[in-house]
Amino acid sequence: MLDFSITALDPETAARAAELDTPHGTVRTPAFMPVGTAGTVKGMAAWELERLAPEMVLANTYHLLLRPGVDRIEKMGGLHRLMAWPGPILTDSGGYQVFSLAARRSLDDDGVTFRSHLDGSAHRLTPESVVETQARYGVDVAMVLDECLPYPVEMADARESVARSIEWARRALAHAQKMRAESTLWGGGLFAIQQGSVDEALRRRCTDELAGHDFDGFAVGGLAVGEPMEVLHEAVAMAAPMLPANRPRYLMGVGYPRDIVHAVACGVDLFDCVLPTRSARTGKVFTSVGEINIKNARYADDLEPLDEACNCPTCGAYSRAALRHLFIAKEVTSVVLLTLHNLTFFLNLMREAREAIMAGRYGRFRQRIEAICNSN
């Protein structure tokens, strides 16, 4: 199993600072993982990403399976070589696509069959094949195949889905253990995923069924699928503390700063979201005083940087007026520069959160971030 150690606990909340040792380095938490769905973080050259030094990055098993395919990735030397990224990588299993591509898939107790959104070809995913694919990618953390539920959901459907996800997780772990016994080529970890929508009893049942098994970590799945912010926060506060305290806890797909600082206070260690990169492509920028949209005419003559408190190269070299001009002119450079800034903001947010936990003042840090978010 991957080694995980808690280095500090906040005295006022459930926030914790910890370290997760992986084959490609130690992940210091709480940590935000930039998303590189198809093998790259959009708008970022590998050397720029390495300079930003995220603790771990995320890629997607399903999308990489479709293109370029597991055989080609193996020939390239694995996913680390494809991404030109030397640090830890976590891959999502494709479970979210069970939810988001519902019109293109058929689901049964054994697995799921997708029709590719690229060419219509059929692809079969099972708990065993998904683990094997991620192992062939050479990732540091693999996720079990699960069924991500919509919100709202009928309770009968939720109960059936949770039972299926539990069984899939058991099958995935058994296959991972078999692979490790037969070969030393893959030393990565396997995370289980807690499901159950916003129902406490279902979340508890799922956790109780999974917690007794040797998973390297546990994720809270099935949130950020359309529920209101208040419901999301209540669900995280209910679901995260159920997970084993001696293993890393990962909240999947949640990325707004106010949601992150709330979840950290509930004991969550890992996060991922496309928000920083997707927002950059629409002109949305995150700053230490709140969100701005660079397309706004008020920035046409603004000679200040995006954020005076930011240490990124974009803020060091470009004014808001210059960035607005480049974005309105549809220059690709503008998206690259905004992406660089947004990722810096999120990574700095997590570093500051860790420092606050280590200093025993996370509650005050959380209040400051929430006040900024609420001011927008």
Q: Which residues are catalytic?
A: 92, 272
Q: How far is CA 117 from CA 65, 111, 165, 260, in A?
A: 12, 18, 24, 31
Partner residues linked to 21 by β-bridges: 26
Report residue 205: phi and psi, to 5°.
-60, -45
Cβ burial, residue 23 (10 Å; 0-12/13-18/19+): middle
Residue 326: both structure tokens together: 């480049």
Q: How far is CA 250 from CA 140, 221, 348, in A?
A: 14, 8, 19
Give, for 9, the enclosing helix (H) or strand (E).
strand 4-9
Give yes or no for a contact between 213 and 170, defined as CB atoms under 8 angstroms apart: yes
Q: Closest Cα partner for 34 from 346, 349, 351?
A: 346
Give yes or no for a contact between 99 and 150, defined as CB atoms under 8 angstroms apart: yes
Give yes or no for a contact between 305 and 318, defined as CB atoms under 8 angstroms apart: yes
CA 128 to chain centre: 22
Cβ burial, residue 208 (10 Å; 0-12/13-18/19+): exposed
Q: What sign does the dihedral 179-180-181-182 (CA atoms) show?
A: positive
**How far apart are alpha carbons 309 and 288 in whole angstroms?**
7
